[in-house]
Amino acid sequence: MIIGRILENEKKVRFNEKINCNKCEKQVPGGLQTGESYYQTSSFKKELEDFKKSYLCGVCRDAKRLKKD
């Protein structure tokens, strides 16, 4: 998964982060990527926190979508 921004022709940084679904709390594989110049900036950290707070696994995301339709 990619979070934040990656500029054109920029090197990507791969990192691992423990991510749990916010609904069923299942842990999901947290292989993430972002752009080298964005990695570890304060906006990056904030975005990562927000991402973790709102993350839903595929199953819960599907359930939510089906309910909405």
The answer to whether residues 49 and 21 touch, using CB atoms and an 8 Å cutoff, is no
> Which residue stretch of 8-16, 32-40, 44-52, 54-62 sits at the interface with Zn ion (rule: CB under 5 A)?
54-62
Smaller CB distance to Zn ion: residue 7 or 24? 24
Q: Which two tokens stand for residue 34?
A: 């972002």
Q: Which two tokens stand for residue 59?
A: 């199953």
Q: Which of 17, 20, 21, 33 binds Zn ion (CB under 5 A)?
A: 21
Q: Which two tokens stand for residue 56?
A: 């839903």
Q: Does 13 bind Zn ion (CB under 5 A)?
A: no
Q: Which of 3, 32, 48, 57 binds Zn ion (CB under 5 A)?
A: 57
The answer to whether residues 35 and 4 touch, using CB atoms and an 8 Å cutoff, is yes
